């Protein structure tokens, strides 16, 4: 990968008007580098500027959050060192989701667990990864089950049907990134949301991140289509939703979202204090800070 390193995050995000409840978790964010100690993968599809743990924790505090779940970004490939470094520097306030080479040993998986990882991510976006071997992913899923982990899957709505047999075979709890990227302009009852609800209804251990209005709502801020399409989902699956900033917003350099405005979307999709507490505190704590895991 060559070319200029990109900046995909807002230089001075606003302080949100909405104050998250105490103990709120930003359950989908990343770190990029820093590159000197943690070089990007030779297979990276984008080359970002450094966005390391200090910046992430400063944003966490500015937005009024208490914890982070740091998802290994594709630009770091299967070397989880940068994510583990950020978790270690968090003083117990971060956990992680790893991306692994399917040939990883059980011992290496245990070391990732020790380092704070609680899930593994399988990415099916062709613009982000070269291949997504389902049979090998299933083998990994079976092995991480023993650690009490879950599987995070990232895909776009047009391949949901094709992925169903694979998703159905995963033996751990499943977390779907960004609701499988529905077209939110179709509304809460459009074909994409209906297909996604059918997936959620097929098992009671499938969770989703109600994230990324900036990626999913083509009309842009104030992201009304996103609010309309997503609020009913939060109401119908209150125990199985997670929320995150997605900072530093990989690949969003042409339309960097204001993280404060993203936080101000929360009361538009989780419309009561009880729903907000489940979304931001109870659910992510159950998945990532469960003492039994
Ligand atoms: C996201 C979305 C994207 C990127 C990555 O790992 C990544 O690079 O996840 C994307 O470009 O859609 O969830 O961060």
Spacing, Cα 31 to ligand 1 middle (Å):
11
Per-residue confidence in pLDDT tens, the chain, 293 aa = 546 899 999 999 999 999 999 999 999 999 999 999 999 999 999 999 999 999 999 999 999 999 999 999 999 999 999 999 999 999 999 999 999 999 999 999 999 999 999 999 999 999 999 999 999 999 999 999 999 999 999 999 999 999 999 999 999 999 999 999 999 999 999 999 999 999 999 999 999 999 999 999 999 999 999 999 999 999 999 999 999 999 999 999 999 999 999 999 999 999 999 999 999 999 999 999 997 44
Pocket test for ligand 1, best of 8, 45, 48, 74 (most atoms within 8 A of CB): 74
Domain boundaries, the chain: 25-288
What is the CATH architecture of 25-288? Answer: Alpha-Beta Barrel (3.20)
Of the chain, the percentage scoring pLDDT greater than 70 comes to 98
pTM: 0.97
Spacing, Cα 79 to ligand 1 middle (Å):
16
180 Cβ below 6 A of ligand 1:
no
Q: How far apart are CA 5 and CA 12, in angstroms?
A: 19
182 Cβ below 6 A of ligand 1:
no
Spacing, Cα 217 to ligand 1 middle (Å):
16
The pLDDT score that the predictor gives to residue 288 is: 98
């Amino acid at each position: 990968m060559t070319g200029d390193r990109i900046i995909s995050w807002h230089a001075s995000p606003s302080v949100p008007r909405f104050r998250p409840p105490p103990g709120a978790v930003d359950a989908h964010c990343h770190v990029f580098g820093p590159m000197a100690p943690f070089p990007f993968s030779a297979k990276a599809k984008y080359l970002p500027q450094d966005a390391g743990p200090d910046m992430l924790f400063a944003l966490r505090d500015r937005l009024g959050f208490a914890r982070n779940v740091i998802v290994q970004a594709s630009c770091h490939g299967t070397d989880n060192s940068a994510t583990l470094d950020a978790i270690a520097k968090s003083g117990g306030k971060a956990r992680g989701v790893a991306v692994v080479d399917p040939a990883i040993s059980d011992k290496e998986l245990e070391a990732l667990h020790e380092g704070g990882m609680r899930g593994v991510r399988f990415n099916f976006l062709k613009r982000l990864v070269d291949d997504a071997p389902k049979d090998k992913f299933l083998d990994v899923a079976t092995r991480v089950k023993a650690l009490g982990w879950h599987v995070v899957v990232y895909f776009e709505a047009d391949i949901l049907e094709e992925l169903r047999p694979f998703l159905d075979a995963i033996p751990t709890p499943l977390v779907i990134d960004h609701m499988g990227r529905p077209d939110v302009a179709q509304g809460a009852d459009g074909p994409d949301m209906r297909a996604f609800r059918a997936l959620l209804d097929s098992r009671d251990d499938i969770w989703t991140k109600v994230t990324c209005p900036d990626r999913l709502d083509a009309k842009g801020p104030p992201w009304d289509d996103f609010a309309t399409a997503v609020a009913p989902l939060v109401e119908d699956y209150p125990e199985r939703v997670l929320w995150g900033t997605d900072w530093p917003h990989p690949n969003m350099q042409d339309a960097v979202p204001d993280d404060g405005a993203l936080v101000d979307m929360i009361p538009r999709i989780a419309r009561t204090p009880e729903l907000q507490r489940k979304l931001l505190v109870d659910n992510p704590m159950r998945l990532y800070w469960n003492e039994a895991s």
